Amino acid sequence: MVWDVSFTCDVCGKKKADANHWWMVLLGDVPCYEQDQPHQRFTILPWNPAESRNRDMLHVCGQGCAMKALERFMSTSAIVVDSKMALTR
Ligand SMILES: [Zn+2]
């Protein structure tokens, strides 16, 4: 069975090519947290073809976009802020 899935970076919108060093980002729940604190944790995972199709996974094209994703997470608690804004860069 051949899956023809093309991935795009959830931060910069770049398309995945085989040679790229891609990573996956997953936001998970935090079991206990103080009020007014983020209730999610930021997890970064090495690229995995099977897990990459998980719809909860975000895909980033490299270290730069991983850092940007973390930055967005820490400042806004969201990684994909606005797809239109991401494309206008
Ligand atoms: Zn990217």
> Which domain covers residue 60, as residue numbers?
23-87
| pLDDT digits (tens), the chain, 89 positions | 455 568 999 999 999 987 668 999 999 988 887 887 778 999 999 999 899 999 999 999 999 999 999 999 999 888 886 555 544 44
In a domain, 5, yes or no: no
Report how far ligand 1's centroid is from the alpha carbon of 79 (Å).
Answer: 12
In a domain, 47, yes or no: yes
Task: Report how far residue 23's alpha carbon sits from residue 71's, in angstroms, rounded to the nearest whole number.
Answer: 16
In a domain, 36, yes or no: yes
In a domain, 12, yes or no: no
The amino acid at residue 6 is S
Task: Report how far residue 55's alpha carbon sits from residue 10's, in angstroms, rounded to the nearest whole number.
Answer: 12
In a domain, 30, yes or no: yes
Task: Report how far residue 17's alpha carbon sits from residue 35's, in angstroms, rounded to the nearest whole number.
Answer: 42
In a domain, 16, yes or no: no
Number of structural domains found in the chain: 1
Q: What is the pTM of this model?
A: 0.76
pLDDT at 72: 93
In a domain, 35, yes or no: yes
Report how far ligand 1's centroid is from the alpha carbon of 32 (Å).
Answer: 31
pLDDT at 79: 83
pLDDT at 77: 81
pLDDT at 66: 96
Contact (Cβ atoms closer than 8 angstroms) between residue 11 and residue 44: no
Report how far ligand 1's centroid is from the alpha carbon of 28 (Å).
Answer: 21
Report how far ligand 1's centroid is from the alpha carbon of 4 (Å).
Answer: 20
